[in-house]
Amino acid sequence: MADNTSPLSGGKKNTIMAIVAYILFFVPLLTGDAKKDAFVKYHTKQSLVLFLLVVLINVVGWIIPFYFWYTINWLLSLGTLVLLIIGIANAASGKQQPLPLIGRYADIFKF
């Protein structure tokens, strides 16, 4: 019999929901099966940390409107895009690997 705790159990549904979590982190939390799956929860937490990082970068950009901040903001935004691509690649390949630099903060969230 197949192991139901596998990240790919039930076809590609859980993998797809893990990828969707990086686009809209709250969508897997609204669905029945996905919110119970540990693989989807893991990637939802990772994407939530990434989302909060993007919000923090933008809020700091609004508070500190210095000219040099635009360059820093652009570089940080590029970095978050790279982290997003890494997260989607990990979810698509079925890995539960934390995102570089920010992945360890995902354990703060309990859901």
Total residues found in the chain within this entry: 111
pLDDT tens-place string over residues 48-81: 999 999 999 888 888 877 777 778 888 998 999 9
Q: CA angle, corner 86, sides to 17 and 63, nearest 5?
A: 95
In a domain, 42, yes or no: yes
Split into its structural domains, the chain has a count of 1
Lowest-confidence pick of 20-34, 42-56, 95-109: 20-34
In a domain, 89, yes or no: yes
Dihedral, CA of residue 83, residue 87, residue 89 and residue 90, to nearest 10: 130
In a domain, 34, yes or no: yes
In a domain, 21, yes or no: yes
Rounded to two decimals, the pTM is 0.79
Q: Which domain holds residue 100?
A: 13-108
In a domain, 5, yes or no: no
